[in-house]
Structure 1
Amino acid sequence: MIGSAGGALSAERYGIGRPATEAEISAWDIDVDRDGRKLPPGSGNIAHGRDVFEAQCTSCHGARGEGGTGERLVGGQGTLASTRPVKTVGSFWPYAPTLFDYIRRAMPMNAPQSLSDDDVYAVSGYVLYLNGLVPDGTVLDARSLAAIRMPNRDGFVPDPRPDVRP
């Protein structure tokens, strides 16, 4: 059964479910880790990102990422240690490749995984641009996105509990 370690047993016992096919597994195996491994081929520029953002993102995140029904994406630099921290991509997010990962798998909320990889590179670049982290005209691809050092990269500390693996 898809998503179940005991899938074959469940199928035998209850007559429902089936093992996931390799194609089904690969379609969902799209995670990108913090250092950018598994970023797909493709690229996107700020201008295209602005267009995609206006068409797909402004209804929730505001025209310039200031927030609305969706989270605020822009600003907040220097507020994390304050009594009113503003957690945004520019202030809180530790790794740029995971921004790509999140946008690709979860946005837009009404149609997750509907953007092309080029669109996701472009939107990621536009959000980074709105936060002053890349200049206008930037073209992002797997190499350049992984090379971006986010302002809060060193703001997280390891969990010291013995039952939590690093």
Structure 2
Amino acid sequence: MSKFRKLAFLAGLFGATLAAHAQDTAKKAEAAEGPVTDAALSTDARAGSRLGLGRVATPDEVAAWDIDVRPDGKGLPVGKGTVSDGETIFAEQCASCHGDFGEGRDRWPQLAGGFDTLTRDRPVKTVGSYWPYLSTVYDYVHRAMPFGNARSLSNDDVYALTAYVLYLNDIETDEDFELSNENFTAVTMPNAGTFVPDDRAEEQHYKDDADPCMTDCKPGPVKITMHAQVLDVTPEGGGDESGPAGGSVD
């Protein structure tokens, strides 16, 4: 058998084995979850079923991925949690990185404080000082925290942690405060309303459907008037964090 024919034979054998495995998997899934009628399938899904590949996702599988929460509260699950419950969870799951009071540790983010710093050269951007929507807190904690064990918290746990973060930032001052899907949208963040819409599409070159200028866009030589701020992101022992803050290039 020539080298070409041998490769073709092996490829055909591999394809047949893969197809058989896919059909066997589909049969097992159908036996476990019941048949899916062809009428319920989209055109693409029907094409896949003819090839013996995949199946339609179940409602529970879709719900497991559909976890985003919008600023208007859409997507919030039913649940509730108190500040005191959140304090206990925070101490066990979060304080090792974010500090006992949200002050941050090492290079881990600070969650509380930073009020009235956003106009400074070195603003402290925390949940309380910067984040405009409480939904971002819930969504991020639910999706990604605690670090290394994401999605391990229940809905009530996330409500409780969110309530505690509000308490750390003095947005809620009552130790008995309980956050739930019922009162969630009533909470107003300190920095709400200060963000501006992304209006880049209104720029002239977008309106003209033209390419933006990339060379020789400004008459005369380029003059550096100030250097950008050195951000506090360099590990200790390296980098220079001194120097003027802010800056731009003309």
Name the TM tier (shorter chain). 0.7 to 0.9
The question of 1:114 aligning with 2:152 is answered: yes
- Counterpart in 2 of 1:160? 199
Higher relative contact order (CA 8 A, sep 6+): 1
- Indicate the larger mover: 121-130 or 143-152: 143-152
In structure 2, C-alpha distance between the alignment counterparts of 1:40 and 1:63, rounded to whole Å: 27
Q: Counterpart amino acid of 2:192?
A: R
- Counterpart in 1 of 2:88? 51
User: Shift in Å at residue 162 of structure 1?
Assistant: 1.5
In structure 2, C-alpha distance between the alignment counterparts of 1:89 and 1:66, rounded to whole Å: 11
- Counterpart in 2 of 1:3? none
The question of 1:40 aligning with 2:77 is answered: yes
Matches of residues 105-144 of structure 1 in structure 2 within 5 Å?
105-135=143-173, 136-144=175-183
Q: Counterpart amino acid of 1:66?
A: E
Secondary structure in 2 matching 1:70: coil
1:31-54 deviation line (CA, Å, top 9, x unaligned): 110111121111100100000000
Q: Counterpart amino acid of 1:161?
A: R
User: Shift in Å at residue 20 of structure 1?
Assistant: 3.8
Q: Counterpart amino acid of 1:153?
A: A
Q: Whose radius of gyration is greater, 1 or 2?
A: 2
- Indicate the larger mover: 107-116 or 154-163: 154-163
The question of 1:146 aligning with 2:185 is answered: yes
- Counterpart in 2 of 1:80? 118
Q: Counterpart amino acid of 2:98?
A: H
1:82-112 deviation line (CA, Å, top 9, x unaligned): 1111100000010112211111111101111
Equivalenced residues, count? 158
Unaligned 5+ segments in structure 1 are: 1-6
Runs of 4+ in 1 over 2 A off after TM superposition: 7-12, 14-23
User: Shift in Å at residue 18 of structure 1?
Assistant: 5.6
The question of 1:28 aligning with 2:61 is answered: no
- Counterpart in 2 of 1:4? none
Unaligned 5+ segments in structure 2 are: 1-43, 203-250
CA-based RMSD: 2.3
Conservation of the 8 A alpha-carbon contact between 1:35 and 1:95: no
TM-score, L = length of structure 2? 0.58
